[in-house]
């Protein structure tokens, strides 16, 4: 389940990494600038919004403009990722129009198309590259099929690619015209040269048979290798068979076969066949099978090539297939070690960290093994100076934990490559940030007129100082301060909300004064000398404002909020009580605040809780609140009442007029009955 989703998840993970780092650090280049100028001063951010939610996660929004692209060039990019009911879906679209002077390798390509889809545990697709007229290569066709334990790649090419080029241009190949005896002697000479070459260690060749006829040669060579040889320790034979035209000694065909066996199940089996026409190669085939000693993987290559020698000697077609079966990661590691032995890096060159990259890929595969791909498709194309890309996917499984583990795996890899990176703020920020986004959106359009770009990352957990009620984000604002701002940008900090709680801002003394603020948000102008680290003392106060209660058998939500901070609401309940008028129905709660504080309390009650025709009455500590204001919408009652603290009890009575009338009648009847009973008792006593 791991192999076929690697490209998707690595791409998604890197986009998440880039987006988080870009949004948090306001990097010096926020656009895919098609033609950046080294001296250009970029204004990275026009406005940035930080939304803080009650669960202490954050949402980052950025808008950027005015980074121009080249004339006659443009780029459009969109990416959307949505989480809903433990299912993750997303789309991405890209369209780039490349100006003539920036075409690069695309100058020689007339069209390009790659597509892929995931069906029944297998990712498969096809790609075609067509080249402009006049080039030696006409088309390249690539096919691939990737599943859990098998990866197959096929490359087909149609061309007229010259293989012999001199100062005067492409050349014909002279025919192989050689007597069979001379051909056999050449093989003997090459074996002797191989054995005496000091650059080749751990391999010995020995000719054990050499048969020559008037039109054929057969040579059998015994091969023995040691542990220090490229492939390790093997023993086996390599056979060379050649046939000639007896009339002119033109070579007709050559076949080279071999079977080498190593320790355990290690095996190398191969066959190379070359067919000659008038002594010149016209067709060749190859078949190779390589297995490891522990039988964890096998690697197979087979293919066919054709040649012609008309105007010049050229490759006219190629059909080559590579197949990995078993543990592909083990195969890539082993083959990379072989490659390093065959083509070692120079003395002053450092070998590329291929093994580390393969290990990272394997770790990421393991991380995402619990994620199921429900749907995946993509298409990449190029034509008429335009590159376009479209994809969509739908995933299920525990992607939250997979992204978090993938982030840790990637950071470990980065630190391994450069230990000093752990001292950088962006690394520390990501290290303390959990990537569990509910929503990611990236929109960008760039042209010669400028760039418009938006990035949104919703519900990202990062380092918090404090508790569940009052908390701060000092590291986040320290990271924001790492950037240099050109011109003037705006930073807006907003207190977010969920179904029951609301976040309010508390801006203490010493923090730069916002140009605009309420208890729910604040806006600062960010200039080049603004120190965002000074905002690390901004506190976020989380308060419950919506209270679920049960009325009858119905659960409803009552919203109660004050216009000042430091106010708490407790003991919200629906009650039935008794007064001199009879039974009442209403909402009761306790509001507490600092002594001497005056606040306006807003109460929102769904209409379906209140009996039809009810007249709402507000009481504070048992007394009617004369300044209470009651508004109504189609679905709610909104009450505003002024409260003098420290602690008060608010009761909202919503008994209907009919109930009040009935209460009065019933009360009068009860009183009358009591009078009659009392009078009767007195009369009996007098008698």
User: What secondary structure does DSSP assign to 359-385, as a single string?
Assistant: HHHHHHHHHGGG-EEEEEEEEEEEETT
Please check the confidence at residue 144 and state whether its pLDDT lies above 90: yes
Q: Are 523 and 492 in contact (CB under 8 A)?
A: yes
**In the predicted model, what is the mean pLDDT of the chain?**
80
What are 655-672's pLDDT values in tens digits?
654 444 444 444 454 555
Of the ranges 236-245, 536-545, 651-660, the best mean pLDDT one: 236-245
pLDDT in tens, 400-420: 888 888 888 888 888 888 888
- CA–CA separation, 481 vs 200, rounded Å? 58
Residue 321 maps to a domain? no
Residue with tokens 């939610």: 53
What's the CA gap between 115 and 105, in Å, rounded? Answer: 20
The β-bridge partners of 570 are 590
Among the listed ranges 217-231, 353-367, 664-678, which one has the minimum average pLDDT value?
664-678
How far is residue 572's CA from residue 551's CA, in Å, rounded to a whole number? Answer: 12
Count how many domains the chain has: 4
pLDDT at 46 over 80: no
Q: How many CB atoms lie within 10 A of CB 571?
A: 10
Helix (H, G, I), strand (E, B) or coil at 25: helix
Specify if 517 maps to a domain. Answer: no
Mean pLDDT, residues 624-636: 87
Range in 13-17, 188-192, 252-256, 423-427 with the lowest mean pLDDT? 13-17
For residue 3, pLDDT beyond 50: no
Averaged pLDDT for residues 291-302: 86
Asked whether the beta carbons of 251 and 242 are under 8 A apart, the reply is yes
Q: Which residues pair with 502 in a beta bridge?
A: 497, 543
Please give the average per-residue pLDDT across 146-165, as a whole number.
90
As a whole number, mean pLDDT of residues 18-32 equals 30
Q: Which helix (H) or strand (E) holds 186?
A: helix 180-196
Q: What is the pLDDT of residue 300?
A: 94
In a shared domain, residues 205 and 351? no
Of 470, 503, 536, the last residue of a domain is 503
Residue 569 lies in a domain: yes
10 Å CB burial of residue 40 (0-12, 13-18, 19+) is exposed
Q: Where among 252, 287, 310 does a domain terminate?
A: 310
Q: What tens digit of pLDDT does each residue of 82-124 get?
A: 988 778 899 999 999 988 888 888 889 999 999 999 887 788 9
603 pLDDT more than 80: yes
Which of the listed ranges 46-55, 169-178, 611-620, 638-647 does the model predict with the highest average pLDDT? 169-178
Q: What is the pLDDT of residue 41?
A: 40
Examine the domain organization and report whether 103 and 189 are in the same domain. Answer: no
Question: Which residue's structure tokens are 């780092």?
Answer: 21
Q: Which long-range contacts (CB under 8 A, 24 or more apart) does 164-172 make?
A: 164/312, 164/313, 169/312, 170/311, 170/312, 170/313, 170/314, 171/312, 171/313, 172/309, 172/311, 172/312, 172/313
- Percent of the chain, pLDDT > 70? 81
Q: Is residue 202 part of a domain?
A: yes
Same domain flag for 199 and 262: yes
344, with CB counted inside 10 A (0-12, 13-18, 19+), is: exposed
Within a domain: 319: no
Answer yes or no: do 353 and 489 share one domain.
yes
Q: What is the DSSP string of 470-512?
A: EEE-HHHHHHHTTSPPPS-EEEEEEE-B-SSEEEEEE--TTSP
The predicted pLDDT at position 609 comes to: 78
77 pLDDT more than 50 = yes
More confident residue, 427 or 359: 427
**Residue 685: predicted pLDDT:** 54
49 and 123 co-located in one domain: yes
Q: Which residues contact 317 (CB under 8 A, 6 or more apart)?
A: 156, 157, 158, 159, 304, 305, 306
Over residues 20-28, mean pLDDT: 29
User: What range does the domain containing 279 cover?
Assistant: 173-310
Among residues 198, 161, 167, the alpha carbon closest in space to that of 307 is found at 161
Is the pLDDT assigned to residue 449 strictly greater than 80? no
Q: Is residue 95 part of a domain?
A: yes
- On whether both 306 and 416 belong to a single domain, the answer is no
Same domain, residue pair 285 and 154: no
Q: Locate 477 and state its tokens.
A: 């604002």
**Per-residue model confidence (pLDDT) at position 612:** 72
Does 219 share its domain with 104? no
Phi and psi of 481, rounded to 5°?
-75, -10
Q: Is the pTM of this model over 0.75?
A: no
Same domain, 484 and 560: no
Distance CA 684, CA 687 (A): 5
Domain membership flag for residue 340: no
Residue, of 525 and 1, whose pLDDT is higher: 525
Predicted local distance difference test score (pLDDT) of residue 253:
97
Give the pLDDT confidence score for residue 214 in this predicted structure: 92
Residues 351 and 426 in one domain: yes
Based on the fold, state whether residues 418 and 490 are members of the same structural domain. yes
pLDDT mean over 250-255 = 96
Are 349 and 497 part of one and the same domain? yes
User: DSSP characters for 291-314?
Assistant: E-TTSSEEEEEEEEEEEEESSSEE
Q: Is residue 516 situated within a structural domain? A: no
């Amino acid at each position: 389940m791991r192999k076929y989703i690697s490209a998707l998840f690595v791409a998604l993970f890197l986009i998440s990494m880039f987006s988080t780092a870009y949004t948090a650090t306001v990097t010096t280049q926020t656009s895919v600038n098609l033609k950046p100028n080294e001296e250009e001063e970029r204004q990275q951010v026009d406005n940035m919004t930080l939304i803080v939610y009650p669960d202490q996660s954050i949402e980052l929004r950025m808008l950027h403009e005015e980074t121009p692209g080249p004339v006659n060039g443009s780029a459009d990019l969109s990416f959307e990722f949505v989480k809903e009911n433990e299912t993750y879906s997303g789309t991405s679209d890209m369209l780039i129009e490349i100006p003539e002077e920036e075409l690069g390798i695309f100058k020689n390509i007339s069209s390009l198309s790659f597509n892929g889809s995931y069906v029944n545990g297998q990712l498969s697709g096809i790609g075609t590259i067509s080249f402009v007229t006049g080039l030696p290569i006409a088309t390249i066709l690539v096919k691939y099929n990737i599943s859990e334990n098998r990866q197959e790649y096929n490359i087909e090419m149609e061309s007229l690619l010259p293989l012999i080029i001199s100062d005067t241009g492409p050349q014909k190949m002279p025919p192989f015209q050689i007597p069979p005896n001379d051909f056999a002697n050449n093989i003997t000479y090459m074996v002797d040269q191989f054995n005496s070459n000091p650059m080749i260690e751990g391999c010995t060749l020995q000719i054990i048979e050499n048969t020559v006829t008037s039109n054929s040669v057969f040579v059998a060579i015994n091969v023995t290798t040691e542990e220090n040889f490229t492939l390790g320790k093997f023993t086996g034979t390599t056979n060379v068979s050649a046939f000639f035209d007896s009339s002119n000694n033109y070579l007709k065909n050559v076949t080279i076969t071999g079977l080498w066996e190593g320790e355990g199940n290690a095996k190398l089996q191969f066959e190379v066949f070359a067919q000659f026409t008038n002594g010149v190669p016209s067709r060749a085939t190859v078949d190779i099978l390589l297995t490891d000693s522990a039988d964890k993987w096998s690697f197979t290559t087979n293919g066919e090539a054709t040649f012609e020698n008309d105007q010049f000697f050229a490759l006219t077609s190629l059909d080559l297939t590579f197949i990995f079966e078993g543990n592909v990661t083990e195969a890539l590691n082993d083959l990379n070690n072989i490659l390093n032995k065959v083509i070692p890096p120079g003395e002053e060159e450092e070998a590329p960290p291929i093994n580390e990259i393969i290990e990272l890929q394997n770790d990421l595969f393991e991380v995402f093994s619990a994620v199921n791909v429900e749907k995946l498709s993509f298409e990449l194309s190029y034509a008429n100076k335009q590159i376009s890309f479209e994809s969509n996917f739908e995933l299920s499984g525990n992607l939250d934990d997979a992204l978090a583990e993938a982030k840790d795996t990637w950071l470990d890899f980065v630190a391994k490559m450069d230990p000093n990176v752990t001292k950088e703020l962006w690394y520390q920020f990501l290290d303390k940030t959990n990537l569990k986004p509910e929503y990611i959106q990236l929109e960008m359009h760039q042209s010669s007129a400028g760039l418009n770009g938006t990035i949104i990352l919703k519900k990202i957990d990062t380092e918090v100082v404090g508790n569940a009620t009052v908390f701060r984000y000092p590291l986040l604002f320290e990271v924001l301060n790492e950037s240099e701002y050109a011109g003037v940008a705006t930073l807006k900090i907003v207190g977010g909300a969920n179904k029951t709680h609301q976040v309010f801002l508390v801006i203490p003394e010493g923090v730069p004064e916002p140009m605009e603020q309420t208890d729910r948000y604040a806006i600062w102008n960010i200039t080049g000398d603004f120190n965002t680290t000074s905002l690390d003392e901004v506190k976020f106060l989380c308060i419950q404002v919506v209270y679920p209660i049960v009325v009858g058998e119905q659960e409803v939500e009552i919203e109660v909020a004050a216009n000042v901070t430091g106010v708490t609401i407790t003991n919200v309940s629906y009650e039935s009580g008794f007064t001199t008028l009879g039974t009442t129905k209403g909402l009761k709660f306790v509001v507490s605040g600092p002594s001497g504080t005056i606040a306006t309390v807003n109460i929102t009650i769904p209409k379906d809780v209140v009996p039809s025709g009810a007249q709402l009455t507000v009481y504070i500590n048992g007394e009617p609140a004369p300044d209470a204001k009651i508004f109504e919408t189609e679905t709610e009652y909104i009450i505003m009442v002024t409260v003098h603290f420290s602690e008060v009890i608010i009761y909202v009575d919503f008994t209907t007029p009919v109930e009040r009338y009935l209460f009065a009648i019933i009360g009068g009847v009860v009183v009358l009955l009591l009078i009659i009973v009392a009078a009767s008792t007195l009369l009996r006593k007098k008698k």
